[in-house]
Amino acid sequence: MMDTTTDVGRGLLSIYKKFDRIQISGYLQPQFQVASKKGAESFNGGNFAPQSNNRFSLRRGRLRFDYVRLNDHDQPSVHLVFQVDGTERGLFVRDFWGRYFENKWQLFSFTAGLFARPFGYEVNLGSPDRESPERGRMSQLLMRTERDLGVMASFEPRRKNHPLRYFKLDIGAFNGQGLSGPGEYDSYKDIIGRLSLKPYPVTERLSVSAGVSLLQGGFIQNTKYVYTTSNNNGKKEFVVDSSEDNLYSEAPREYRGVDMQWKLKHAWGATELRGEYWWGTQTATANDTETPGLLLTTPYYIRKFNGAFFYFLQNIVNKKHQLGVKYDWYDPNTEVKGKEIGAAGNNITAANIRYDTWSFGYNYYIDEHLKLMLWYDIVKNESTSLPAYLSNKSTNVFTCRLQFRF
């Protein structure tokens, strides 16, 4: 029992009251992986070393601090978050943001800082909650680390009887390059928005959720050379536009997305189906389709893309055991395919190859703090005219991961 009649006791009590609103949480993901060959290129934790086909690694090591300030009516007024990621590769800040809640109508909130972009379902599903080891190839390339610096306004009714309580709208402005570079390098901003339907009970056991997303943005063109895909007398090729008007204009980044999730509860636990589809326009370089983290000094390449993520999740026997099947594809250039890639003189590189990935897994939820994941990824690339990609390259990966969570 604390003696509050003394100065020391009163001081300790004031410290307790000040810091009892702080929550510390985190998780640790040690894993062992085996690839189908040495030096395999992989989006499951990064490429393997040239002389290695297996490895131990610490995929993520997160420590998160949350501070919530309540008003006199015990309603949240301010929420602050700081999260770091520590692995054998170093220590990195992953979240550092503040959120203000409007409490007169209990409808709005405003967020500023470093936080996840409000685009899509899989991007915003946290790594400790995601059933597969990694996000899809497309989201890793187009939205590496998922986060960016910016501001966001949200509409989300918090009263239980509000007629729009199942809907949420987020819209924000962001730098654009996210954490793929050291900082902002131009004056253009990305406008990102998402309208979502939160899990809605269709029946007592069946619920549905869905969302539509939009990203309208771009970055500065630092050269006058811009390549786009053209059909020249039946031959697909990249054609350059070298107009002086291109210099310092805006190179487009325009994404659209739709998603839906179904969940059926039953005696074993639940069956879930998820689907998400993205399409749009991406600007990058000749040999990469990732959003540039630095100001480019090489020619710009503009491509039409699409891709998707699909999940089937099934509890077996009880909620502790779960089987999963995931399929995702990423087509970085929908205007070319197959043997058109790498054909003589067309300047179409390996960055334009479509990839399809099938993943099969088992999750064992040992308790609320410990999870075992066993997953196998089968990666297929389309056959092209490029010597290194005349047929499928074997880059399959098996992952055995433990997740400790507190």
SS3 340: helix
Interval 220-275: pLDDT, tens: 999 999 999 999 888 999 999 999 999 999 999 999 999 999 999 999 999 999 99
Instruction: Classify each residue of 331-364 as buried b or exposed e, where b means 16 or more C-beta atoms within 10 Å of its C-beta.
Output: bbbebbeeebbbbeebebbbbbbbbbbebebebe
DSSP state of 146: S
The answer to whether 282 touches 288, Cβ cutoff 8 Å, is no
Looking at per-residue pLDDT, the higher value among 317 and 4 belongs to 317
CB 189 within 8 A of CB 172: no
404/406 Cα distance (integer angstroms): 7
pLDDT at 108 over 70: yes
Distance, CA of 296 to CA of 288 (rounded, Å): 12
d(CA 391, CA 396): 15
Supply angle C-alpha 155, 158, 161, rounded to 5: 115
pLDDT of 198 reads: 97
The closest of 257, 289, 260, 292 to 274, measured between CA atoms, is 260
Q: Decide: residue 158, CB within 10 A, 0-12 exposed, 13-18 middle, 19+ buried.
A: middle
- Residue 100, amino acid: Y
Average pLDDT over residues 15-38: 86
397, 36 contact by CB (below 8 A): yes
Map residue 191 onto helix, strand or coil. strand
The answer to whether the beta carbons of residues 328 and 137 sit under 8 Å apart is: yes
Categorize the per-residue pLDDT at 181 as very low, low, confident or very high, splitting at 50, 70 and 90: confident
Question: pLDDT of 361-371, one tens digit each?
Answer: 999 999 999 99
Q: Is the pLDDT of residue 11 over 80?
A: no
pLDDT: is 20 or 372 the higher one? 372
pLDDT at 18: 59
Per-residue model confidence (pLDDT) at position 19? 58
Q: Is the pLDDT of residue 6 over 80?
A: no
**d(C-alpha 145, C-alpha 95), whole Å:** 10
Q: Which residue, among 217, 214, 148, 216, has the nearest Cα to 180 in the 3D structure?
A: 148
Q: What is the pTM of this model?
A: 0.92
Enter the tokens of residue 332: 């970085």
Structure tokens at 241: 């536009």
Would you call 24 exposed, middle or buried from its count of C-beta atoms within 10 A (0-12, 13-18, 19+)?
exposed
| Mean pLDDT lowest among 32-41, 66-75, 142-151 | 66-75
Helical H segments across 97-242, by residue range: 137-142
Residue 2: its pLDDT value, please?
Answer: 41
Taking 3-state DSSP, the helix, strand and coil percentages for the chain, each rounded to the nearest 5, stand at: 10, 55, 35
pLDDT of residue 346: 92
Backbone phi, psi, residue 155, to 5°:
-110, 115
Amino acid at site 310: F
Average pLDDT, the chain: 93
Q: Left if phi > 0, otherwise alpha if psi is -120 to 50, otherwise beta: which for 100?
A: beta
**Banded pLDDT at 357 (limits 50, 70, 90):** very high
CB atoms within 10 A of CB 124: 16
Q: What percent of the chain has pLDDT over 90?
A: 88
Which of 327, 291, 293 is CA-nearest to residue 309?
A: 327
